[in-house]
Structure 1
Amino acid sequence: MTTETAVPRARGAAPAGETERAQLEAVLVELEGRATAKFRSVAAPAATAERRAVALGHEDLAMRARLLRANVLVREGRSERGGRWAHEVLAWAGEHDDAFLLARAHRVLSIFYRQVGDLSEGLTHAVQSYSHLADDEPDVVRARHLMTLAVALDESGSTEEGARRFREALQLASAAGDAELALNILNNMAYTAYEKDDERGARELVTHMRDALAGAGRRFSALELDTIARIEMMSGNYGTVEKILHVVLDADQALVEMHEGDAPAVCLLTLAEARRLDQRYAAAQEALDAAARMATERGLDRVRAQAREEQAALYAATGRFELAYEEHRAFHRAMTALHSAQSEARARALQAVFEATEARQASEHFREMAHRDALTGLYNRRYVNGRLPALLGEALVRRSPISVAMVDLDHFKQINDRLSHSTGDAVLQQVAELLAEFATGPMVAARMGGEEFLVIMPGAGAAEAAEQCERLRRLIRDHGWEPVTGTLPVTASIGVTTSDDGRGSPSALLSLADRNLYVAKREGRDRVVTDL
């Protein structure tokens, strides 16, 4: 990050604003590239990056930083705020057609919805996450999004499709030489195989995990060890489970990485189950007590409930059936309370997301209303003032032409005076419908005020614009006006001007079109006058 102290810029160096943006982008790229296991380390620097981006006026970078923070919140289980922030970023990305952020916001929302139990929405966002990736995305990014899609497919019951996506993700991560990501994918695949009772497949995957570990340059994390231990339990290798998880009981837990807050307690529960199945009941109780104590200290309600279930099984294994029954009842009470709390949390999180989406839609609705003419529904002058400079800028970049036509209804005062103002309004509304029908593709039709309208034609050169406006003139003149105006005709005079390459200001372009309109009026009306 740069300091606030201003320093002289060397001749030929990039402007300070560009340099700061580049530095900030570099920070975000590094944070976005950090391993999933290290997600907590992202929170503080992402918050700093967001504040800096806001101060510099780089809204897109602020959104990237905000999404990084949302991802941390969701993965930590703080779904309400994380889901809301991710939806806000998704809305911004949609408004600005930012495919980069669309893909990444959908991925965070897939994790969010799976976390709150909405597997269908989780899968929907996972699919969107992958489909919005650009063709030139790095293989590592594509692998991460494929892994998210694989998990969502698997949890939604599409097991074979999920397995195929896992394999694709693993192939990409391996080809990119990202051993950390490959290990993460393999761990997911191995635990999925364990849940399906596919011991052979699970063991093959553990072998690949060990190979990947050498490339990652670290030890297995606690949850990776738990996956391996549970696979060993499938064959009754309880002594092996003990060896795998013994580091969890060591006083110095620096020997194993524990990225997830519940990891030690989860490992202790696995250890307790293995010892019980091995009929080492006192040792099982020791591990179970440690797991329950840790769950209570850290507020791990789900692990605490699971500990009660294991306690009931341990009581039953030692013949204390009355205690087992009471503990099993306590387990069900705990799970009921947990499900209730989860339902409330889910409801709060989804409500927050709904409110954010609803507020965005309302904001878009009111913004759209502010840009529309109340009588005709066409765009208004305010919209033209904002849109025309942007279209001119695009034409300048592309070196393409852009034409503007001022359309004014002839003798409109007669319609108001001889018939009525309501008839005049009906004529304006009908002309607006004709203009909306006429202005296809990139063309923009607007009501500038009174009986004056504007048509912007991006990409249209002078000859094409003249031809199009002649068609519009005939469309208005030949419309069946008798039911509205009786014998009074409705015609229009049109002044057109063209910028061949986007050069010129909006005011200059409008002034030239207006000048040509004046000529059309002066020469007899119901005609098109161009620069030609």
Structure 2
Amino acid sequence: MFPMTPTARAAVVAHLEELELLTARDFEAVSAPAAILELQAREHGWTDLVWRAQLIIADVAGRRGDVAEQGRVARRANLWAEEHGDEFLLARSHRLLSIVFRRLGDPAQALVHAVSGLQHADGMPDRLRCNQLITLGLVLDLNGRFDDAKRRFTEAMRIADEHHDTHQALTVLNNMAFTAYENEDPDEANALARQLVDVAGRGGIPLDGLHLDTLARILMMQNRWDEAERILQPLIDDPDGPLHSEGDSLPECLLTLAEIYRAQGRHALTGETLDAAGRLCEERELGSIAARVHRARAEWHATAGDYRKAYEAYQRFHALTVTLHSAEREARAYAMQALFEATEARKASAQFQEMAERDALTGLFNRRYLDGKLSATVAAARRTGGPLSLAIIDLDHFKRVNDTLSHAVGDAVLREIGTLLNTFGTGPEITARLGGEEFVLLLPGIAAAAAHARCEQLVSLIRNHDWSPMTGSLPVTASIGLAVSEAGELPPDALLGHADEWLYQAKRNGRDQVQADPAAVPLDIT
């Protein structure tokens, strides 16, 4: 662990900056070290650095397709930064919110946040400011402001060149090439495509899914269908592979491929590909791509002469597009007011869903929510090969509280435990009530050592909390059983079962402690 000195804080800041820059090119490698840095920052009371680490983890969640989690963390970080006047966190959280709204299909609100992010980025290191410029350029392009986008991309390219950052240069070139494609400028698009391939070749960096999709689109613009299909083939051959750098890259590539198949007259394959793209959009809540899938399906049905199905698909496209464009027009005219109103509307529409997934007494997520979330999280860990930890927390001698004091006091203790857990859980962590005095802490992307350290913190938090106003001299402590799945290999019931076994061991060993597999030992960072 770093000693609590200015030099130690500087070391954590430097490591966070490395992870912030690494996320775009290898996001699977940053979750675990970000979680460890979060623990260190929390231990030292560096709340701003806790939020920086959480934003990194949330960025990874979004790239894996969990846009809702990405937005939740980004918004909380943004509110904290606003309250404390933290310019750096305002810049980073606005950028992440811009990405969230872009993925949800609302380019106008994405633009509001991208502009705000850059306004707060003046004191930021150059390479991080380059990311802010890239995000702004991308959403300017989505809003049809191609010249403004090109200006921001050019500024970002200058920074990437000055720092010899090939990865950032590729990101900028890819976006510039796509802007030229959308602007129907084949000469500039071809020139930028050649530059993109050349820079990647000289740097020894493989082009990822979003790069290849851009190259395929440029070839399609020139009716070079067979070449475009060959460009995308590696992505289709390995849909879960490393070339898919973001959660929306595979549905984007499938939509492009469906357009190629339709142009080639391969009717059945077009439909199958659109169905696959639609399923992914629904799973990952990708509104803008989903609208384009409905439109492509309408055109596909019309080509086959099935006008009834074409009309139904067009109706779905139209309904979704009207919703997206309505928000877009309002945000352009009344940007900040539209942002406020849309946020309030989302809160209202989510209220009943939130009530169905929350435990009435503690306010934590309930067993119903946990079952669904755990299955999805295990599936994601299996797909990515990342770690997943789960802890079961059981209050010690809780029956004594009910019997000695009263059930009303017992309920008050449970409510307070809910408050502690709700505050304790950060980033992608999920806290839920299993029932009675049993709770769960779900730790996606957190391996054994870091998970054990989190559980030790939680045991200490509960033990040292001032319970005397509720229970007098009667102590309140907890035992925790921790199970770890290193690569998503354990199914949900096995993960819960292992955690329960270790919980029983903690009870047998005297309670008020963490028990886990011997491999799950605290990580000593020096």
Which segments of 5 or more consecutive residues in structure 2 lack a partner in the other structure? 328-338, 349-526
- CA displacement at 1:285 relative to structure 2: 4.3
Which segments of 5 or more consecutive residues in structure 1 lack a partner in the other structure? 3-14, 356-532
Letter aligned with residue 221 of structure 2: M
Letter aligned with residue 319 of structure 2: T
1:36 to 21, 24, 33: 24
1:351 to 340, 344, 356: 344
| Alignment check: 8 A CA contact 1:86 1:109 kept | no
- CA displacement at 1:209 relative to structure 2: 0.9
- CA displacement at 1:182 relative to structure 2: 0.9
Pairing 1:225–2:212 present: yes
Taking a change above 3 Å as real, the CA distance of residues 330 and 40 of structure 1, as seen in their structure-2 partners, is: same
Pairing 1:264–2:250 present: yes
- CA displacement at 1:33 relative to structure 2: 2.0
- Show the counterpart of 1:61: 49
1:211-246 Cα distance to aligned partner (Å, 9 max, x none): 221244332211221111111111111111121112
Mapped partners of 1:343, 1:29: distance in 2: 38
- Show the counterpart of 1:77: 67
- What's the secondary structure of 1:212's corresponding residue? helix
Q: Specify the structure having the higher radius of gyration (Cα).
A: 1
Report 1:369-380 matches (<5 A): none
- Show the counterpart of 1:280: 266
1:95-129 Cα distance to aligned partner (Å, 9 max, x none): xxx44334333433444455566656544543443
- What's the secondary structure of 1:51's corresponding residue? helix
| Alignment check: 8 A CA contact 2:106 2:288 kept | no
Mapped partners of 1:293, 1:123: distance in 2: 27
2:154 to 146, 167, 184: 167
- Show the counterpart of 1:240: 227
Pairing 1:183–2:166 present: no
- Show the counterpart of 1:326: 309
- CA displacement at 1:24 relative to structure 2: 2.7
| Alignment check: 8 A CA contact 1:80 1:352 kept | no
1:317 to 289, 297, 303: 303
Pairing 1:198–2:185 present: yes
Mapped partners of 1:121, 1:268: distance in 2: 26
- What's the secondary structure of 2:22's corresponding residue? coil
- CA displacement at 1:165 relative to structure 2: 1.5
Taking a change above 3 Å as real, the CA distance of residues 117 and 283 of structure 1, as seen in their structure-2 partners, is: closer
Letter aligned with residue 326 of structure 1: K
Taking a change above 3 Å as real, the CA distance of residues 147 and 63 of structure 1, as seen in their structure-2 partners, is: same
1:130 to 118, 140, 151: 118
Taking a change above 3 Å as real, the CA distance of residues 270 and 116 of structure 1, as seen in their structure-2 partners, is: closer
- Show the counterpart of 1:507: none
Taking a change above 3 Å as real, the CA distance of residues 47 and 342 of structure 1, as seen in their structure-2 partners, is: farther
- What's the secondary structure of 2:199's corresponding residue? helix
Letter aligned with residue 33 of structure 1: L
Taking a change above 3 Å as real, the CA distance of residues 337 and 273 of structure 1, as seen in their structure-2 partners, is: closer
- What's the secondary structure of 2:52's corresponding residue? helix
Q: Whose RCO is larger (CA < 8 A, sep 6+)?
A: 2
Taking a change above 3 Å as real, the CA distance of residues 142 and 330 of structure 1, as seen in their structure-2 partners, is: closer
Mapped partners of 1:133, 1:114: distance in 2: 20
Taking a change above 3 Å as real, the CA distance of residues 44 and 91 of structure 1, as seen in their structure-2 partners, is: farther
Taking a change above 3 Å as real, the CA distance of residues 206 and 30 of structure 1, as seen in their structure-2 partners, is: same
| Alignment check: 8 A CA contact 2:19 2:30 kept | yes
| Alignment check: 8 A CA contact 2:78 2:89 kept | no
| Alignment check: 8 A CA contact 1:258 1:264 kept | yes
- What's the secondary structure of 1:173's corresponding residue? helix
Mapped partners of 1:294, 1:66: distance in 2: 26
Mapped partners of 1:91, 1:153: distance in 2: 24
1:162-221 Cα distance to aligned partner (Å, 9 max, x none): 211211111221221111111111111111221121222111111111122124433221
- CA displacement at 1:159 relative to structure 2: 2.8
1:294-332 Cα distance to aligned partner (Å, 9 max, x none): 5577776765654443333233334xx2x2432331342
Mapped partners of 1:227, 1:41: distance in 2: 25
Pairing 1:142–2:132 present: no
Moved more, 294-303 or 204-213: 294-303
| Alignment check: 8 A CA contact 1:190 1:206 kept | yes
Pairing 1:51–2:39 present: yes
Taking a change above 3 Å as real, the CA distance of residues 152 and 287 of structure 1, as seen in their structure-2 partners, is: closer
Taking a change above 3 Å as real, the CA distance of residues 17 and 194 of structure 1, as seen in their structure-2 partners, is: same
Mapped partners of 1:302, 1:126: distance in 2: 18
Letter aligned with residue 129 of structure 1: G
- Show the counterpart of 1:503: none
- What's the secondary structure of 1:257's corresponding residue? coil
Letter aligned with residue 332 of structure 1: Q
Taking a change above 3 Å as real, the CA distance of residues 295 and 354 of structure 1, as seen in their structure-2 partners, is: closer
Give the aligned length. Answer: 335
- What's the secondary structure of 2:26's corresponding residue? helix
1:341-389 Cα distance to aligned partner (Å, 9 max, x none): 9999x9897239999xxxxxxxxxxxxxxxxxxxxxxxxxxxxxxxxxx
| Alignment check: 8 A CA contact 1:233 1:241 kept | yes
Moved more, 231-240 or 272-281: 272-281
1:455-498 Cα distance to aligned partner (Å, 9 max, x none): xxxxxxxxxxxxxxxxxxxxxxxxxxxxxxxxxxxxxxxxxxxx
1:110-166 Cα distance to aligned partner (Å, 9 max, x none): 44455566656544543443344446x543223222222323433445432221121
- Show the counterpart of 2:415: none
- CA displacement at 1:74 relative to structure 2: 5.8
Moved more, 189-198 or 157-166: 157-166
Letter aligned with residue 175 of structure 1: E
- Show the counterpart of 1:426: none
- What's the secondary structure of 1:184's corresponding residue? helix
- What's the secondary structure of 1:36's corresponding residue? coil
TM-score (norm 1): 0.54
TM-score (norm 2): 0.54
Aligned-pair RMSD on alpha carbons? Answer: 3.8
1:265-290 Cα distance to aligned partner (Å, 9 max, x none): 33222122112212333543454455
| Alignment check: 8 A CA contact 2:115 2:136 kept | yes
Mapped partners of 1:130, 1:102: distance in 2: 9
Mapped partners of 2:104, 2:284: distance in 1: 21
Mapped partners of 1:308, 1:65: distance in 2: 37
